[in-house]
Amino acid sequence: MSADIGLIDAIRSLVRGAPSLQRVHDQIVADFEDPGPYVIFGGFARHVAFLLRNGATEEAREVLGAMEKLAAEGDLKTQELVQIGFWENLGDDREILSEARRLMGPATERLSHGVERWHGREES
């Protein structure tokens, strides 16, 4: 994997903050020969959507809390990973996005709205 070390650290930090993601991470690595961080974060987004669809709100809250920490404390590359790798994928399902927004913090809310405006799915 030729990913930036900062992005690899972001993945490690997220998994430490939300241990349920370890299984998701391991499955993605097993399924793809050399997944980049955006593929992994897309898998994390699908996992959160699954959790929310199945009423696992507390587990989703844990993941979104760890994502908030990355968004608030990370450098620009990390914030882009959160915005594009995670929120762009989660925004494909409007109902799930709405539910996730009730659980997110201010940094992730800013990133989520930014990517939704960029896609034309929200007004400026």
For 48-60, write each residue's pLDDT tens digit: 999 999 999 999 9
Q: Which residues contact 26 (CB under 8 A, 6 or more apart)?
A: none
CB-CB contact of 47 with 40 (8 Å): no
Q: Domain locations in the chain?
A: 5-118
Name the H helices within 1-56. Answer: 5-17, 21-31, 37-53
Round to whole Å and give the CA distance between 31 and 118. 30
pLDDT tens per residue, range 72-120 = 998 898 999 999 999 988 888 889 999 999 999 999 999 888 888 888 8
